[in-house]
A and B are shown apart, each in its own frame.
Chain A
Amino acid sequence: MTKALFKKQMMEVFSWLYKDKKSGKLRTAKGIAGYVLLYLIIFGFLGAIFYVVADGLCEPLVTMGMGWLYWCLMGLISIFLGVFGSVFNTYASLYQAKDNDMLLSMPIQTVRILLVRLSGVYAMGLMYELIAMIPTVIVWFLKAPFSGSGTVCVLLIPVVLSVLILTLSAILGWAVALIAGKLKHKNIVIVIVSLVFIAGYYYLWGQAYSMLQSLLLNAERIGGKMKTALYPLYHMGLAAEGKPLSMLIFTAIIGALFVMVYVVLSRSFLKLATTNRGAAKAVYKEQKTKTRSVGSALLQKELRRFLGSSNYMLNCGLGIILMPIGAIALVWKADMIQEMLAAVPIERAVLFLGAAGAVCLLTAMNDITAPSVSLEGKNLWLAQVLPVSGRQVLMAKLKLHLLLTLIPAAVLTVAAGWVLKPGTAFAILIPLAVLLFVLFMASMGLLIGLKMPNLDWSSEVVPIKQSLGVMLALFGGWAVIVAFTGLYVLMDSILKPLAYLLLVCIVLLAGCGVLLRWLMTKGAEIFEAL
Chain B
Amino acid sequence: MLRIEHLTKIYGDKKAVDDLSLHIHPGEIYGFIGHNGAGKTTTLKSCCGILQYDSGEITVDGVSMKEKPLVCKNKIAYIPDNPDLYEFMTGIQFLNFVADIFGVSAGERRERIRKYADAFELTADLAQPVSAYSHGMKQKLAIISALLHAPKLIIMDEPFVGLDPKASHLLKTLMREMCDSGSAIFFSTHVLEVAEKLCDKVAIIKGGRLIKAGTMEEVRGDMSLENVFLELEEEK
Contacts and interface: CB of A to CB of B under 8 A. Distances in A.
A284 B89 contact: no
Interface of A: 278, 281-286, 288-294, 296-298, 300-301, 304-305, 307-309, 377-379, 381-382, 384-389, 528-529
B154 to A, nearest CB: 12
Interface in B59-105: 70-71, 73-74, 76, 78, 80, 84-93, 96-105
B31 to A, nearest CB: 21
Interface of B: 45, 48-50, 52, 70-71, 73-74, 76, 78, 80, 84-93, 96-106, 109-110, 114, 123-128, 132
CB-based closest 5 A-B pairs? A308-B88, A297-B100, A284-B126, A378-B84, A387-B73
Contacts of A378: 84
B93 A304 contact: yes
A529 B71 CA distance: 18
Contacts of B106: 288-291
Given A284-B123, A291-B106, A387-B70, 14 more contacts: A283-B124, A283-B127, A292-B100, A296-B100, A297-B97, A301-B89, A308-B87, A308-B89, A379-B84, A379-B85, A381-B50, A385-B50, A386-B98, A386-B102
Per DSSP, chain A at the interface is: loop
B101 A294 contact: yes
A379 B94 CA distance: 12
B105 A387 contact: no
Nearest to B126: A284
A528 B65 CA distance: 13
Contacts of A388: 70, 101
A284 B127 contact: yes
B132 A278 contact: yes
Contacts of A294: 100-101, 103
B88 A384 contact: no
Contacts of B98: 386
Contacts of A381: 45, 50, 78, 80, 84
18 contacts: A281-B128, A282-B90, A282-B127, A284-B91, A286-B110, A289-B106, A291-B100, A296-B100, A297-B96, A297-B101, A308-B89, A379-B84, A384-B49, A385-B50, A385-B73, A385-B76, A386-B98, A389-B70
Contacts of A293: 100
A304 B131 CA distance: 13
A286 B114 CA distance: 9
Contacts of B104: 291
B84 A305 contact: no
Contacts of B78: 381, 385
Given A281-B128, A284-B126, A529-B52, A309 B88 contact: yes
Contacts of A288: 106
A300 B88 contact: no
